[in-house]
Amino acid sequence: MDCAMDRAARTPIREPPAVEEDAWFKNVVDGVERTLDTCLPVAETGDTRLLEAMRYATLGGGKRIRPLLCHAAGVACGAPKDALDAVSAALEMIHAGSLVHDDLPAMDNDILRRGKPTVHVKYDEATAILVGDTLQAQAFLTLSESPLPAERRTAVIRELAAAIGPFGVAGGQFIDLQNVGRSMTLERLEQMHLMKTGALIRASLRMGALCILPEDEDDASTYSILAEYGHAIGLAFQIGDDILDVTRSSAALGKTAGKDAARNKPTYVSTLGLDASRTLVRHLRHRAIAALRPLGINGCQLRLIACRIANLAAA
């Protein structure tokens, strides 16, 4: 990375007053929590263990970054809040399910998630596999019942399905597991991060916009802004996660720290080093924020989220 780029990446970003910012974030997080509680099934009688485990994996934890991104993009485009709540709940179900699977013994074999024992530890491995499956099913059910015109509903369903398949989350996770104990080129590492984590982040943004805007020529510029922002912020988010794995404690993270090195996983930190990884996150934050310029004030929440994501990794 050249010096001018690095200097630009170090320039402080001025943020609007923290009170308004916190109120907006809290409102979205509270809304998604309520919607998840409503959309996750409950059973009055019979064997409730699977349903309990779905709730255990999903409710009361996590930063809710994907709902925040979905709402921020939706707000920028004028999407209705009730639809954004439903779409955000579906995104969190998918994300929570991907974490349950990511923690399985056959994958990262982790015992701590969001400050609690992982689902396969608290329940058992078979239940954890089924929780991932049923959260996926429930996410699509939630989207199919979302308060959107039929055409918009189909668009968000298609977007989510594409993001989690072989060219998105699942494909990225496959590359991740194939490369344990190996070194990766930066190019391949970037591709892996953009798939395993970036794909759902980009989909969160696009699904917020798809609640209201058809993806046709009239709105092409909005989607290209979101694509540029989403690429930068999706990559920054997983590089940040790689950084936090080496810089924070398990207590601070709510998940096992130092896991990547212990499992000999190729990450940005193992490939580029800590300082260069941090510089890259700052650069990506600037790239994301620069992309938002044409949105003006409508991009305000997206800008705040970019700062938050970059700040997570900076400490």
Q: Tell me: does residue 33 bind ligand IPE (CB under 6 A).
A: no
Q: Which of 58, 118, 136, 238 binds ligand IPE (CB under 6 A)?
A: 238
> Three-class SS string for 160-171?
HHHHHCCCCHHH
Write down the least CB distance from residue 122 to Mg ion, Å: 17
Q: Tell me which of 108, 123, 135, 138 binds ligand IPE, using CB under 6 A.
A: 108
Query: Which residue stretch of 76-84, 106-114, 208-216, 301-309 sits at the interface with ligand IPE (rule: CB under 6 A)?
Result: 106-114
**Segment near ligand IPE (CB under 6 A); pick from 60-68, 128-136, 159-167, 286-294:** 60-68
Span 143-172, contacts to ligand IPE by CB under 6 A: 169
The DSSP secondary structure of the chain, one letter per residue, reads --HHHHHHHHSPPP---HHHHHHHHHHHHHHHHHHHHHHS---SSS--HHHHHHHHHHSS-S--HHHHHHHHHHHHHT--HHHHHHHHHHHHHHHHHHHHHHTSTTTT--SEETTEE-HHHHS-HHHHHHHHHHHHHHHHHHHHTSSS-HHHHHHHHHHHHHHHSTTSHHHHHHHHHHTTTS---HHHHHHHHIIIIIHHHHHHHHHHHHTT--SSGGGHHHHHHHHHHHHHHHHHHHHHHHHHHHHS-HHHHTS-TTHHHHTT---HHHHH-HHHHHHHHHHHHHHHHHHTGGGGGGGHHHHHHHHHHHHHHH-
Instruction: Tell me the chain's radius of gyration from C-alpha atoms.
Output: 19
Q: Which is nearer to ligand IPE, 62 or 208 (CB)?
A: 62
Instruction: Candidates 6, 8, 63, 276: give the one binding ligand IPE (CB under 6 A).
Output: 63
Q: Is residue 85 a contact residue for ligand IPE (CB under 6 A)?
A: no
Residue nearer to ligand IPE on the CB measure, 196 or 287: 196
Task: Note whether 277 binds ligand IPE by CB under 6 A.
Answer: no
The torsion of the CA quartet 202, 87, 33, 70, rounded to 10 degrees, works out to 30
Taking the least distance from each CB to ligand IPE, the nearer of 71 and 196 is 196
The entry of Mg ion, ligand IPE, none near residue 190 (CB within 5 to 8 angstroms by kind) is none
Using CB under 6 A, pick the residue from 114, 122, 248, 308 that binds ligand IPE.
114
Pair of tokens at residue 39: 């959309």
Pattern 247-276, binding to ligand IPE, x per CB under 6 A? Answer: --------x---------------------
Q: Which residue is nearest to ligand IPE (CB)?
A: 62
Residue showing tokens 């190996």:
182
Q: How many residues does the chain have?
A: 315
Kindly list the residues in this chain that would bind Mg ion in the complex (CB under 5 A): 102, 108, 241
Binding marks (x or -) toward ligand IPE, 185..224, rule CB under 6 A?
-----------xx---------------------------
Closest separation in Å from C-beta 61 to ligand IPE: 6
Rounded Cα–Cα distance for residues 259 and 197 (Å): 17
Shortest distance (Å) from residue 65 CB to ligand IPE: 5
Task: Confirm or reject binding of residue 173 to ligand IPE (CB under 6 A).
Answer: yes
Question: Which parts of this chain interact with ligand IPE (CB under 6 A)?
Answer: 62-63, 65, 95, 98-99, 102, 108, 110, 114, 169, 173, 196-197, 238, 241, 255
